Amino acid sequence: MLNVGKIEEGLVLDHIKAGKSMEIYRYLQLDKLDCTVAIIKNARSNKMKKKDIIKVECDINMLNLDILGYIDHNITVNIIQKGEIVEKMALHLPKEIKNVIHCHNPRCITSIEQELPHIFVLADEVKEIYRCKYCEEKYSKKASHDK
């Protein structure tokens, strides 16, 4: 099996659904960071059979982790300091997400004004419903999973 070394300071995103790591790489804008990033695809997992892992060696404040809660709240976020796990962060659905999902309402102002950020606000945490900040168009996270 492929071995990737320990990191000294940063975070390890574990239990990423197999094949989803590149999506997370893009959402977290890891391409813009000048630090070591390791992406492990299709690693063996007892719990998930196959999983992806991302290791990032950087100051954790440089990353907006809220978005992870939206993408998949089952991801384990391990905070690493001096080579050891010091904290496992719980993920929640973020209150607001920007430019992650796009409003498909043809009557929404974002449909004609391209420079506007697509902002969705959490309207119902239990039902995982977001609404467009401009037109209030509903976006159900559960429904999008079911597709």
Partner 1 sequence: MKHLLSPLDFSTEELDSLFHLADDIEREPGKYAHMCAGKKLATCFYEPSTRTRLSFETAMLNLGGNVIGFSDAASSSASKGESVADTTRVICCFADICAMRHPKEGAAYVAASRSSIPIINAGDGGHQHPTQTLTDLMTIHALKGRLGNFTIGLCGDLKFGRTVHSLINALVRYENVKFIFISPEELRVPDYIIEMLKEKEIPYEEVINLESCIPQLDLLYMTRVQRERFFNEEDYVRLKDFYILDRAKMALAKQDCLVLHPLPRVNEISVEVDEDERAVYFKQVQYGVYVRMALILTLLELV
Q: What residues line the site for partner 1 (CB under 8 A)?
A: 105, 107-113, 115-116, 132-137
Between 28 and 119, CB nearer to partner 1: 119
Select 45 or 105, whichever has its Cβ closest to partner 1. 105
Find the shortest distance in angstroms from Cβ 135 to partner 1.
Answer: 4
Report the residue number, 15 or 98, with the smaller CB distance to partner 1: 98
Inter-residue contact 11 to 63 (CB < 8 Å): yes
Q: How many other C-beta atoms lie within 10 A of the C-beta of residue 14?
A: 20
Nearest distance in Å: CB 96, partner 1? 14
**91 vs 59: CA distance, rounded Å:** 19
Phi, psi of 131 (to 5 degrees): -130, 140
Q: Encoding tokens for residue 138?
A: 């509903």
Angstrom distance (rounded) from CA 17 to CA 138: 26
Amino acid residing at 48: M
CB of 67 to partner 1, least distance (A): 22
Least distance CB 129 / partner 1 (angstroms):
11
Would you say 7 or 119 has its CB closer to partner 1?
119
What contacts 87, CB < 8 A, 6 or more positions away?
78, 79
